Amino acid sequence: MGKNIIDKMVKIFKPAIKGKTVRLVSANTGAEKHDHELSMCFNKMVFPTKSLSLKAFGILFGDSRNFSLYLQDCASPEMRQVIREVYENFYISASRAKYITGESVLKSEYDHYYYSDYDRNSLYNIFLLMLSKGPHGDFDTRYALYLDLPDFIRYPLDRLYGKENRQITAVDDIDGNLTVFSAESEAMIAMQTAKNLAKNKLIDLTKQKFTQAEIKKLAKMIPVNEFFPETDIKEYAHLRLQWILAYMANANPVLPKKPVKTTPVSDQLRSAWEKRPLSAELFYQLSFVNIKGLRKNVLLSSGITDQYRMTTSLLTQLKGDKWNDIQSIIDLLHSGERSTWRNTIFHPTDFDKMDIVNKVTDDYIYINESYRQLGVPLICSIFFGLAAIGAVDIAYSDAKDSESPYMGLKYVRMTTFGAYLTGLIQTYKAPEIDTADAPGFQLDDTTLTIYSEPGNNLETLMNRFSKQIGPRRFALTAQSFLRDCYIPEDVTAKIDEFRHLLPREMPPLWNDFFDMLKKKSHSVKREPISGYYLFRIPSDDKELQRLLSTDSEIRQYAIKAENYMILVATENYPLLKQLLKRHGYIL
């Protein structure tokens, strides 16, 4: 505790104690306690040592009853309202304070740009004063005076206002008029579709931002249920899709030089979640989709990433499958050590570097509005983003006329995928997908032919699995399916991807084909040997033995050895690998 803080505390509390006798009473028993040094400190408001200062002010601030007495004695009802508003909003303007109390913050209202603490009205000693941009014309400058509270005042106010040790509250039932958004199974399809499009180079998941034209095109290729399907605001029309793309971009790994096991999209997102949060560059533009004037370079020193981490850290505290009240979550993030300038997103010095405007209302946002128009919407937007990928369900009201599209959020509920994403459970199986939700593909009962229904925007995805043989017709072969498979696990993962894109009930022919691919992918086992690859083949796989004996192309690259073994020269391995894929084998 520095001298400046001690001087500030003395200035605040001296009027409350002046002319009074201070008695020290045990908080537990009510018995009077005798401490000559502390009594002298309080009665004379003189603190000769730092340890005495810490002890004395620990008493004043450690028990909300002492601070409550101060407010009753030294703050009028109007001043208590000002304190409450500054506590709730982090900042209020000096003009707002004067409107409430009738008292100016400064003794004289000359050009306050050059004010000093000597100009302060002593009624406002409890506050910190600061200059920041204000409405044009305020005091004939672009700057206005604002009130803030020091941390040592905020902590007892947490207790006084009942926000200390807050818990997330939850209910079983919610208002039937709210919109409930629950899309865990659909999210798995959408994210897998995005992943497949990226593999086919139809979408670039390394991009930080997509243009509106690109988003409109992708909306046809990745059809999803949107949060605001009837909105007239173009930035809100495809918000959910953009959140999905942001999370997929965050989880998009740098492709290694060597082939690795194909990772299910749920595991891919969990791995990314464990390593890093969603980067600010990816999500700030979605959280503040209704805001303009933000400067990217200021984001580096902003509280956006901290708020994202603090908010998502509360996911493990959500009450099971109940509906958790978003206001209780906001209150929890507003209390204790979490309650800092980061709740308002930008530090005051950075706030002044920008001209921030709400595009919906066309109003400037000043620092006294930053918590309500930036901080709270950011928290709500994080849960909308998690709902987009199926990690939570949300319930919200119509926010059409709101300053932010996210301000209608009322409740949030954890899903099974959310529990897996955050580490509450260790295994995850995607929910069964209703056939009615599947994209427009049909499977032939007698041949491995796929038909695409007219108007189906997902036709291009079939190129990853099959070969196009005509308009809206695709043929599936072992070679086409195994094109980018390198190990048996890749085959299993790719079959799962295919099933996600088509109805679960497949004709027997298709199930037999996939069973065959799974079996063959485990047939050949590699043995270590210098200069060659040594493979062991199953003694009961007559088809593979026949190919190695009779196929002229295959025979030139494989040397038969005893005990069902073959030798392949290192330089011939890639060629033989491709030849065997034609027949469904992974080498």
Distance CA 510, CA 85 (A): 66
Q: Which pLDDT belongs to residue 318?
A: 92
Specify whether 69 is located in the same domain as 86: no
CA distances from residue 69 to 32, 60, 64, 510 in whole angstroms, order as listed: 18, 10, 9, 78
What length does the chain have?
A: 587
Burial per residue of 490-529, b for 16 or more beta-carbon CB atoms within 10 angstroms, e otherwise: bbbbbbebbbbbbbeebeeebeebbeebeebbebbeeeee
* Enclosing domain of residue 56: 3-74
Query: In this structure, is residue 170 part of a structural domain?
Result: no
Could you count the other beta carbons within 10 Å of the beta carbon of residue 536?
Answer: 15
Rama region for 503: left / alpha / beta (φ>0; ψ in -120 to 50; rest): beta
The 8-class DSSP code of residue 291 comes to E
DSSP E strand stretches across 23-64: 24-25, 32-33
**516 and 584 in contact (C-beta within 8 Å)?**
yes
Specify whether 337 is located in the same domain as 411: yes
Could you count the other beta carbons within 10 Å of the beta carbon of residue 73?
Answer: 11
Q: Which pLDDT belongs to residue 146?
A: 92
Which of residues 50, 74, 98 is at a domain's end?
A: 74
Beta strands 449-452 and 323-325 are unpaired
Query: In this structure, is residue 49 part of a structural domain?
Result: yes
Specify whether 136 is located in the same domain as 244: no
Specify whether 61 is located in the same domain as 89: no
Query: In this structure, is residue 350 part of a structural domain?
Result: yes
CA distances from residue 77 to 2, 83, 124 in whole angstroms, order as listed: 31, 10, 14
Give the CA radius of gyration of the chain.
Answer: 33
**586 and 488 in contact (C-beta within 8 Å)?**
yes
**60 and 13 in contact (C-beta within 8 Å)?**
yes
User: HSE of 23 in the Cβ direction (CA atoms, 13 Å)?
Assistant: 6
Which of residues 74, 109, 134 is at a domain's end?
A: 74
**412 and 393 in contact (C-beta within 8 Å)?**
yes
**343 and 88 in contact (C-beta within 8 Å)?**
no
Query: In this structure, is residue 166 part of a structural domain?
Result: no
Specify whether 142 is located in the same domain as 96: yes
Q: Which pLDDT belongs to residue 173?
A: 92
User: 572: buried, middle or exposed (CB in 10 Å: 19+, 13-18, 0-12)?
Assistant: middle
* Residue 387, token pair as written in the block: 């709902």
Specify whether 184 is located in the same domain as 58: no
Domain count, the chain: 5
Specify whether 496 is located in the same domain as 513: yes
Query: In this structure, is residue 330 part of a structural domain?
Result: yes
The residues that bridge with 559 in the sheet, in sequence order, are: 567
The sign of the dihedral angle between the CA atoms of 128, 131, 135, 139 is positive
Query: In this structure, is residue 485 part of a structural domain?
Result: yes
Q: Which pLDDT belongs to residue 438?
A: 47
Q: Write phi, then psi, for 171 (nearest 5 degrees).
A: -135, 160
Specify whether 151 is located in the same domain as 236: no
- Full strand arrangement of the beta sheet holding 409-414: 170-171, 323-325, 409-414, 392-396, 179-181
Specify whether 504 is located in the same domain as 535: no
The 8-class DSSP code of residue 373 comes to I
Query: In this structure, is residue 491 part of a structural domain?
Result: yes
Specify whether 28 is located in the same domain as 149: no
Q: Which pLDDT belongs to residue 408?
A: 92
Q: Which pLDDT belongs to residue 257?
A: 45
* Residue 213, token pair as written in the block: 């034209």
| Confidence (pTM) | 0.74
Specify whether 83 is located in the same domain as 18: no
The helix/strand/coil state of 252 is: coil
Q: Write phi, then psi, for 466 (nearest 5 degrees).
A: -140, -175
Per-residue pLDDT of the chain (587 residues; tens, 9 = 90+): 566 666 677 677 766 666 666 677 776 776 767 677 777 777 666 777 777 777 777 777 666 777 777 777 667 889 889 999 999 999 999 999 999 999 988 877 655 555 566 578 888 888 888 888 887 544 556 788 899 988 878 878 887 777 666 789 999 999 989 999 998 888 888 888 888 788 777 888 888 788 888 898 888 888 788 998 888 888 888 999 999 999 998 887 644 444 455 678 888 899 888 887 677 778 888 999 999 998 888 877 788 888 888 899 899 999 888 999 999 999 888 877 767 777 888 888 888 889 999 988 888 999 999 999 999 999 999 999 999 999 999 999 876 656 789 999 999 999 999 999 999 999 988 776 554 444 578 888 889 998 888 767 667 778 778 888 888 889 999 888 887 787 888 888 888 878 877 756 788 999 999 998 888 887 776 666 667 777 777 778 888 888 888 888 888 877 776 767 777 877 788 888 888 888 887 77
The CA-CA-CA angle for residues 427, 431, 435, to 5°, reads 155
Which of residues 57, 74, 91 is at a domain's end?
A: 74
Query: In this structure, is residue 93 part of a structural domain?
Result: yes
Specify whether 299 is located in the same domain as 404: yes
